[in-house]
Amino acid sequence: MAATRTAGEAFRYDDKFIINDPRNHFIVSTNTEKPGPELRKFIRSHVMLGKNRGKTRSTGKKRRETIENVPLPDPHTSPIGTLDEDGPTPSSTVASTAASQSILPLTVPRKFGSDISPMRFPDAVEPGTVEVVLKFSSIAKHILFPLEPCVFFERKAETWIEPLTFDPVFLHTMIFTSQSYFDVVAAGRTLATTKVALHHFVKALKLLRERISRDEDRVTLSDTTLAAIMALAGHALLTGDYRLAMNHVEGLHKIISLRGGVTTFQSNPKLLIEVLRCDIGMALHRGSQPVFFNQSTSNEPFLPYPDLMPLLKLRGPVAAASQSNSTVFLDDVNGELSSVWNTMSEFCSVVNFAVESVQFISINTYLETMASLMYRLLNMRFESSSVSEAIRLGLLAFSTSVFLQWGSLGLSYTNLTSEYRGCLVRLGSSCATSQLMIWLLMVGAVSVVDIDDDASLKSLFITNIGFGDMKSWDGMQDLLNSFMWIGLVHDKAAKRVFDQLRNISAR
């Protein structure tokens, strides 16, 4: 046992001088040996001074019960694993964190200062104006990505938050677009630029023009410059300034071409997704040809179809919903259209499996599927009243609900809606089967067509539901899944439409 020391006494232990003072302990080592058991105990007792004051020690039994009763993480908000060719990759971080939090209640100190107080910005801005960017960033995925619960987004902070601290063009553009969302879309107001947002819009354009005029490739062709132009293009599209939006998208296309094309963006797929979604959204709204992968103006090759078979094999004995109805008509449609259908069908199976198994698909799988399918569909054309054209438009409508979601920001796909509605009305009862017509009608209803305001489509829908003998929502789900369907995205809206139509037909 160590001898009791009085306060303030200095003593030697194992070539170390120790000053025993209630307020300070200094240990001066004079050799390289590790401390012995007694010294380690002394050091530990000092480190733990006051740590356990006022706390009670829980028993081992209680601790085990607490861990066992930790609620499972919500599959829509907690990362469990990522689907890749080697199978699901589990993550124990969430479970261990949840367990520790349930055992040791945490006391959160009061907030002191702003969330961005330690950050430094490349231009003079009010802290509150930057906080609106962080606020929008925290909800953007949920608004713009219906597949967000099962897509693994990498390097979000590095791509969208870090540039706020070094790129003034990016900084002012993000403040402008974020402020515009809360001023207009979230508030339900008409599209008008507020004074605060306008200040940052003017500043962003001024700095962007100066940057481009200097012709410095390293900065002009940077990811942050692309992100700023993309955001400005999206805002112009939402506010109806299509000429400006087109100019921005053409500028994006030129910059990406100078950098070597879309295939060079493997390190930042999220940025490329946003650029292409803006281009596709404008084409669907106006009926114009897309700027990227436009086969009538360039020989820019389409991205190859993604290889989804390794992901499909991960299902093992789990069987996906039978897609038997697809074989009824695919033999009679264009070969390229059939390939698009099959790839989208496989993607739906992968997503549904990811949702059921609480896994994630990679952002690159999302990008490759969206770009390879939607640009091919935009460049196809068939007879306006043919089954092939109805399927092409149906696949486009289906894809908008899965990949785009511009509608959540107030943009309608005006041209696609008009073409799709006209095609379905002309097709009428000459469609291959009533089951296919039901799928086409339901896809339109949950993506681009308002059935409530369209008596012709509503009547056509009710008639075909009667032919298909759809007595329940479960029966409707089985039919939709027999073609292609993603319950996470479509079920809620589709059930509302089905219940409404069943009530009408029952009168």
Give me the DSSP letters along 303-319. Answer: PPPP--HHHHHTTTTPP
374 and 447, same domain (yes or no)? yes
Tell me, yes or no, whether 109 lies in a domain: no
C-alpha to C-alpha distance for 432 and 329, rounded to whole angstroms: 7
pLDDT attached to residue 5: 46
For tokens 């959204």, what's the residue?
281
Locate tokens 């030129």: which residue? 254
CB 466 within 8 A of CB 505: yes
Place of tokens 């700023």: 228
CA distances from 336 to 354, 370, 381 (A): 27, 16, 11
Same domain, 401 and 499: yes
Q: Give a yes or no: residue 295 inside a domain.
A: no
Q: Are residues 141 and 271 in the same domain?
A: yes
CA distances from 47 to 4, 17, 25, 57, 419 (A): 19, 18, 10, 18, 73
Q: Are residues 94 and 213 in the same domain?
A: no
Give φ, ψ of 20 to 5 degrees.
Answer: -90, 95
Are 462 and 501 in contact by the 8 Å Cβ rule? The answer is yes
- In-domain check, residue 246: yes
Asked whether residue 350 falls in the same domain as residue 478, the answer is yes
Q: Reduce the DSSP state of residue 14 to 3 states and report it.
A: coil
Domain co-membership, 366 together with 455: yes
Domain encompassing residue 132: 127-286
C-beta of residue 380 within 8 angstroms of C-beta of residue 336: yes
pTM of the model: 0.75
DSSP, res 410:
T
Assigned domain for 490 exists: yes
DSSP state of 295: T
Question: Tokens for 271?
Answer: 């940025």
Q: Residues near 18 by Cβ (< 8 Å), separated by ≥ 6?
A: 10, 11, 12, 25, 26, 27, 39, 42
Residues 449 and 403 in one domain: yes
Please state whether beta strands 89-90 and 151-152 pair in parallel, antiparallel, or not at all (unpaired): unpaired
Whether residue 291 lies inside any domain: the answer is: no
Q: Is 496 contained in some domain?
A: yes
Are 83 and 142 part of one and the same domain? no
- Domain check: are 331 and 479 in the same one? yes
d(CA 7, CA 5): 7
Q: How many domains does the chain have?
A: 4
Give the β-pairing of 81-82 and 89-90: antiparallel
Tens digit of pLDDT at every position of the chain (507 positions): 444 444 444 444 444 444 444 444 444 444 545 566 665 665 566 555 555 555 555 444 443 332 233 333 344 443 446 675 555 554 433 333 333 344 444 554 444 445 555 567 667 677 777 888 888 888 888 888 889 889 988 766 667 788 888 899 999 999 999 888 888 776 566 556 678 888 899 999 999 999 988 877 788 899 999 999 999 998 898 888 899 999 999 999 999 999 999 989 888 899 999 999 999 999 998 899 999 999 888 888 999 999 999 988 887 665 444 455 665 567 777 889 999 999 999 999 999 999 999 999 999 999 999 999 999 999 998 998 888 999 999 999 999 999 987 666 767 888 999 999 999 988 876 666 888 999 999 999 999 988 888 888 888 888 888 765 677 899 999 999 999 999 999 999 999 999 988 887 666
In this structure, are 333 and 433 located in the same domain? Answer: yes
**Does residue 59 lie within any of the structural domains?**
no
CB 123 within 8 A of CB 172: yes
The reply to whether 183 and 246 lie within a common domain is yes
User: Quick one: 397 and 501 in the same domain?
Assistant: yes
Q: In what order do the strands lie in the sheet with 25-29?
A: 9-13, 16-20, 25-29
Give whole-number Cα distances, 51 to 48, 97, 163, 351, 485, in Å: 5, 21, 40, 48, 56
